[in-house]
């Protein structure tokens, strides 16, 4: 049985790094690379942590790409600082040099190229916003045929009901925009989208 091709796109928070570690441990998965989208992070630290984790796990062969697309309302600083702390973990800094390659092309262009070059349809594992995926599809609509499915961590949707009470107005708009975006993508592409709610960063419950 051939391994499932997976391209991961995350936005650099602690749950994203945990998901990266778990993905690297899956024997039936063949990862093609990692895209980091600047949303719930400070991008340079998030890139560093991603590459250091790959080095630590013996996957320095996997390319990492920086997406340059950005949501209109990014997370506030208190939500984005996790990557700054994790970047200084001693276990991630035992090596003087980071070996996992950072590609020169932007993350959305890297996604297009990886899908175009894939020998079979690819699963997109997205644990951040769908902005980079949407931009890649805009750049090259033909890559839609190379997407097997999208597995998206949409835990933020759990908070839609209480967002008006607890979150600033710009955040409620972002969450509602995420919901609209996934419904729009699903309706237009017809691709399977598996929505995963993340509970305490560990328990993933898939909803087909």
pLDDT of residue 77: 84
Q: 54 vs 2, which has greater pLDDT?
A: 54
* pLDDT value at residue 130: 86
- pLDDT category of residue 196 using cuts at 50, 70 and 90: low
Predicted model pTM: 0.79
For residue 54, pLDDT beyond 60: yes
Q: Could you tell me the residue range of the domain that residue 95 belongs to?
A: 4-207
Residue 45 has a pLDDT of 96
Q: Report the DSSP pairing between strands 29-36 and 4-10.
A: parallel
Domain count, the chain: 1
The pLDDT of residue 192: 58
Q: What is the pLDDT of residue 190?
A: 60
| Residue in 116, 112, 90 with CA at minimum distance from that of residue 103 | 112
Q: How confident is the model at residue 94 (pLDDT cuts 50, 70, 90)?
A: very high
Q: What percent of the chain has pLDDT over 70?
A: 71
What's the CATH code of the domain at 28? 3.90.245.10
Residue 71, pLDDT score: 61
């Amino acid at each position: 049985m051939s391994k499932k091709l997976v391209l991961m796109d995350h936005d650099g928070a602690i749950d994203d790094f945990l998901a990266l570690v778990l993905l690297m441990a899956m024997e039936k998965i063949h990862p093609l690379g990692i895209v980091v989208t600047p949303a719930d992070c400070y991008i340079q630290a998030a890139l560093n942590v991603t590459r250091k984790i790959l080095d630590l796990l013996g996957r320095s062969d996997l390319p990492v790409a920086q997406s340059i697309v950005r949501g209109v309302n990014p997370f506030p600083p208190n939500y984005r600082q996790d990557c700054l702390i994790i970047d200084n973990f001693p276990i991630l800094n035992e090596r003087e040099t980071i070996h996992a390659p950072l590609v020169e092309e932007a993350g959305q262009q890297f996604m297009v190229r990886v899908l175009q070059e894939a020998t079979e349809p690819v699963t997109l594992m997205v644990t951040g916003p769908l902005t980079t995926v949407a931009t890649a599809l805009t750049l090259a609509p033909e890559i839609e045929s190379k997407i097997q499915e999208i597995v998206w961590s949409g835990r933020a949707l759990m908070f839609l009901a209480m967002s008006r009470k607890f979150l600033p107005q710009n955040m409620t708009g972002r969450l509602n925009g995420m919901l609209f975006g996934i419904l729009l993508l699903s309706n237009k592409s017809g691709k399977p989208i598996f929505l995963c709610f993340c509970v305490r960063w560990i328990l993933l419950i898939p909803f087909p």
